[in-house]
Structure 1
Amino acid sequence: MPTGVAMRDARGQLFDAAERILLRAGPNALTSRAVTTEAGCAKGVLHRHFADFDAFLAELVLDRIGRIDQQSTALRESAGTGTVADNLTGALRDVFGSLAVAIVGLITSRDVLRTRLRQVRPAGVPVLTEATAMLASYLSAERDLGRIAADADVDTLALTLIGSGHLLFAGREGSPPEAEAVHKVVTTVIAGTAPGAPGAAPLGE
């Protein structure tokens, strides 16, 4: 798009441009000039929609958190279908295979951004906190259906899965782990939470 041409849904296009930069080159490459260049728009477009670049980044993070909220609804509705391990594996790959790791790196690298985000989401690390809640909600639904043990600590399981997933995906630029590797982590974390007596079929089967 030639510089100076009007943009439809400028916010969305700028967010998408920032996402591409983050995924391609990491947080250090993310500048207002890089974003507007990537979006193919005039430099002033970003500042017409946001007070400053950190305000833009905060809105970017909140927008992507909204996507996790949507994913959470779909994951919870999948309870009772497929296998617990497969559903969790898919959820982790969706979260960490997209923007989550880059977003966390962005947040930790910018003090002003962290401060702004704490004003609206004071607890935990944005994205990781929402992803943990998503898995806990899903596991709670599976527990209610009897597909995991009634005494399973879903909050601890979710926290362990997100922590393990983050470590598994972090630092792997352009080469995410294979589905089998993610599935192995999931089955290890949830081992022992199958309903019934010891020796019950693993949740991945």
Structure 2
Amino acid sequence: MSTTTATASIDRAALLRDAWTRARSAAEAASESARRHIGTAMRAAWAAARPAPKPDVEPCATYVLGKHDRRCRGWERVIRETMPLPVPEDVRGAGDLPGCYAPERGTEELFGLDAVMQGEENHHRRSRGWTYWLYVRDPATNGIVPLTPTVARKALIKKAILGGRIHLAPEVLKGAGDIAAMVRMLVAIRAGLPIAELAAAE
């Protein structure tokens, strides 16, 4: 890259002002002329003004596999951002989800909008139903956000669709059950619904 191309986006007047400010500050501390420090100050100002290089490694978040209670039955499926999602109405169980079942232990690196769907029994001996979680990586924070299916979150998705904030067919709202609801949330996130907004809708 040529010097002209590299400096085209830098405000040179601001760069010089910053350099002289640094030089005067150093000169006052040493009781010397600012000109003696302008070279070092210019290099420091230049380094501060240059845009930060893009990371060589794509940012990711580490998800730790495993059940909340190892005595209970459960499952996890890692769903990469590139995997097509089924229509929520067609989802009856975990077997209808894309991807493979994850091992009971270990870690998975989540990139982009990668997600993990998890289902687990509420009691290891008695029949007390299941709880489901959608864990999705938020590119805005590089954190993993847990989401449970709720009526409020479905209502938010419906409002976003009908209001034209996200471009999805109303048919996405069809489908019963928590697993279908997890798929619906992930479809909405991929369509542009902010994860933080969905998380705030308890």
TM-score when scaled to structure 2?
A: 0.22
Higher strand share: 2
Which structure has more relative contact order (CA 8 Å, sep 6+)? It is 1
Q: TM-score normalised to the size of structure 1?
A: 0.22
